[in-house]
Amino acid sequence: MSMEHPGPDLRPLPQPYLLFLGDVTERGFAKTALGLRDWAPDKCVGELALPGATVTTGLPPMTPAEAYAAGARALVIGVANSGGVIPASWRASLVEALEAGLDIVAGMHMRLADIPELRDAAQRLGRQLIDIRVPPANIPVATGRKRSGKRLLTVGTDCALGKKYTALGLARAFVARGVDADFRATGQTGIMIAGGGMPMDAVISDFEAGAAEMLSPDGGPEHWDVIEGQGSLAHPAYAAVSLGLLHGSQPDVFVVCHEPGRTDMLGTAGYQVATVEEIIELTLALGRRTNPNIRCGGFSFNTSALDEGEALALMRRESARLGLPVADPMRGGAAFDALVASCLA
């Protein structure tokens, strides 16, 4: 999978990366670094952790100078901490990275250029401070024009249950079958993995669908864009980004992502997780507006909380009940092969 066709005006990121872990002690806060290690290992040369850090990616520890000598061209802040802040204790190491020749890439809420010592060092040294969560300035309003090529979108019954990993797994499987395919990233970790993309949750609502059109331009007749989903059409807070992404990406195929056993929607107490049937109904009804031929290719279940026997039995039962393949991309196997085949059919 690649970003060989990144779309107009989507600036590619400087690569490869030195992964910065700060002083993180909770594995969940290092999800950006761990996602890059898992899905873009060829783009990662090492890690830089501060004293007190207890999480590691397993990559070689390096100073910024050592990483630059090993080929790194950017330091990525691989931490997504509470509030998305860049504490004062990190800043000397970030300046050291700029002085070593590295640009800095971050997906935090805090803007790199708003930190005086980073802004001043970058200006003095001619380095880039790249905030992933800043969309390009020239996003058009959507036209709804049907574009050439083929598209797959991952959609979800809730947030944070595997839409990115599903899209990455499907894009990789398409390429392994000889299909011309690109993963299209729509969130900060996905953008760092792909080397480019569109931060959909930072786009003004009127331009959401236009941003999705821009992300996935005209392609060859056999080319697939596999697009990372965001939010859920049933989520009381995040449905807007999901709908704009659906209309603008005009998917030919969608895959419903679900976590069995989850009952309440994230961040909205009192709202139950939608059923996969509800998401199919919503996605077909709304998606047909820009692609009358949209269809469901199957289901991706996040079974990380289940043992293998339980997971396989559940997915077999649900596949028989729903009439389409159900698979966990992280487990792979025959069920995932069936999902891939259904999407490409």
Residue 1 lies in a domain: no
Write out pLDDT tens, residues 216-263: 999 999 999 999 999 999 999 999 999 999 999 999 999 999 999 999
Q: Is 68 strand, coil or helix?
A: helix
Residue 43 lies in a domain: yes
pLDDT tier for residue 196 given thresholds of 50, 70 and 90:
confident
Please, what's the b/e burial string for 203-213 (b: 16 or more CB within 10 A of its CB; e: otherwise)? Answer: beeebbbbbbb
Compute the average pLDDT of residues 308-319. 98
> Are 230 and 316 contained in the same domain?
yes
> Are 184 and 244 contained in the same domain?
yes
Q: How many CB atoms lie within 10 A of CB 29?
A: 18
Q: Evaluate whether 78 touches 36 at the Cβ level (below 8 Å).
A: yes
Residue 7 lies in a domain: no
> Are 186 and 96 contained in the same domain?
no
Residue 109 has pLDDT above 90, yes or no: no
Residue 137 lies in a domain: no
Spatial CA neighbour of 245 closest among 278, 286, 188: 286
The enclosing domain of 154 has a CATH number of 3.40.50.300
Determine the Cα–Cα distance for residues 177 and 208; give it in Å rounded to an integer.
32
Helix axes 116-125, 91-99, angle to 10 degrees: 0
Share of the chain above pLDDT 90, in %: 86
Residue 142 lies in a domain: no
* pTM exceeds 0.95: no
- Report pLDDT for 11: 64
Which of the residue ranges 76-85, 177-186, 285-294, 321-330 would you say has the lowest mean pLDDT?
Answer: 76-85
Write out pLDDT tens, residues 174-186: 999 999 999 999 9
Residue 281 has pLDDT above 90, yes or no: yes
> Are 206 and 307 contained in the same domain?
yes
Residue 172: C-alpha distances to residues 11, 28, 175, 182, 332 (Å)? 23, 25, 5, 9, 12
Q: Is 32 strand, coil or helix?
A: helix
> Are 125 and 198 contained in the same domain?
no
Query: How many folded domains does the chain comprise?
Result: 2
Compute the average pLDDT of residues 96-116. 95
**For the chain, the helix, strand and coil percentages under 3-state DSSP, each to the nearest 5:** 40, 15, 45
pLDDT tier for residue 5 given thresholds of 50, 70 and 90:
very low
Q: For residue 16, is the peptide bond before it cis, meaning its omega torsion is within 30 degrees of 0?
A: yes
Domain boundary residue among 101, 131, 161? 131
Domain boundary residue among 102, 131, 160? 131
> Are 309 and 160 contained in the same domain?
yes
Torsions phi, psi of 266, nearest 5? -65, 130
> Are 328 and 227 contained in the same domain?
yes
The enclosing domain of 46 has a CATH number of 3.40.50.720
Distance, first Cα to last Cα, the chain: 19
> Are 82 and 154 contained in the same domain?
no
> Are 82 and 194 contained in the same domain?
no
> Are 109 and 178 contained in the same domain?
no
Determine the Cα–Cα distance for residues 254 and 228; give it in Å rounded to an integer.
11
> Are 314 and 172 contained in the same domain?
yes
Residue 10 lies in a domain: no
> Are 117 and 163 contained in the same domain?
no
Residue 3 lies in a domain: no
Residue 139 lies in a domain: no
Domain boundary residue among 67, 101, 131? 131
- Counting Cα atoms < 13 Å in the Cβ hemisphere of 139 gives 27
Full residue range of the structural domain in which residue 29 is found: 17-131
Token code pair at residue 341: 């085949």
